[in-house]
Structure 1
């Protein structure tokens, strides 16, 4: 297992906090704060994955995605099924969602994170934030296939750019009328971010980000966020190139800040843990996001008329379930293997037996 890089964990931790805040803005989702968050908070996971990518055999890449991405996805779906039945008891703090059990099953297996957009008269409910796991699993398979398939070509970079751009454009165009199953539109488009991360690692451009690059990245992020909302989940952006520019710029800014934070022991430990266990944070945040009525109750309460104060309280509440999950899941045998299978596999590998030949 490769040694973990602290600033990468911190960057993931910041991104996960941004996901939670972005989902808790209510009327301010399309505000300046919302646009800045949505510009980078999902693309950065793909950029970091591209940065960490190492070429693998097809079967090994598929096995890794199944254990580390699909297993947490379906484990969380089982949790959502359990909460769904509890919600049928009409408890005031849980939302009855979806309308029926069959709708929930459809949402699980269709696997999109936005309102359904289909070319035929039907509706599929959103599965929520864990769409990211499906999109990442598919994107990594395609990306690994592209890298391995082109590695012996003389013009491999040009071919890779062509293939990735073609698939990204395809995902974007189809998304205007049809959000494909398993968040395939987002997976196709995210190949761009995976390749950008791969190139950044290949050129070692993230190891020492200069302040000049930081300022350019900050400007790019601000330019994109001030002009449009970028929703990777549905590949929604009025200016696609600007969205990519903003996503890369915002990610570089967060990475630079993460590298600075990595020198501060207390802060780096907290954010690093949040990032290292980001899958647990994402999954249990999604359960809370889907079923909890508490944020709506806070927003409807009359203890104050200040919406900003209420939203701050909602965000503090939104941290409770993920933090509890981060503290408890790694300590529960069996459950931790569902979410952290790399560290806690169900079946431990037996050490290879070395048979020594006897010498006469």
Structure 2
């Protein structure tokens, strides 16, 4: 064999060599006259010999001999088939991965919260650092634009509560207490709960998608290169916007829910507006309203935090964006329900 056995020089010689050596596995190979030899040439010789080549059958210069030995050793290796876990083993592996992933998520959440607290402290020291234009723009999108859906949903929730209360209490001749049922349910629970769940599906997903798309387009990295803190420019304004708008939307949801309950009691029980609101003031009172409103800042922090954090975790592909947006909505709704349950237990212990 003569000439150069390199990638550029081989061309069709590999197939010609395979045809020449077919049926002669015991041949010896004299490469002493070969000029240049690279890994492509060595692999072509090994493939022509049937995929396995004994280096002892090759006569070549020392450097070529060593190269052939290395390529033959690499070509002879076969990747061992990986056994997939089954049954109990598979379940324990999934549980272990879930626990480790939860630990990493908890650590990343603490890092996110710490960075946000630093930005909050800087903003309190120097309020001029706050991007008020972004805050008002986001407050309009997350607050004013959400008033119709919050009002309509709360109206029907109040109507359903009133209808159920009227039908159940009618059996005991206590239909008038449907007013107290509507007042307590709407003022204490459903106003903030409906508002927070709607904003979780509306604003948390929006925050995650907006920040995630900026991450995909490397706009966040560009902001860091220019010396702009993404938390200060993207995350903090969204926190401020929800902190302002959720109490407003909770108030709107309260009025809409009471109007829905009033519509049912007026049409079914013939309880007029004056009597309805008189019983609300006398027997329900403002305490339940303030209890519901006290949850609003916590809900705002949770919704904005989950949406922005999921957006900051988006990778460079569309699949990652979709998974993070879905996770933002699911995590936010789950957190809202858990927080509402915790508040219910707390106020029950405090007898409020």
| TM, length-normalised to structure 2 | 0.27
Structure with the largest fraction of helix: 2
Kindly indicate whether structure 1 or structure 2 has the higher relative contact order, using CA contacts under 8 Å at least 6 residues apart: 1
Structure with greater Cα Rg: 2
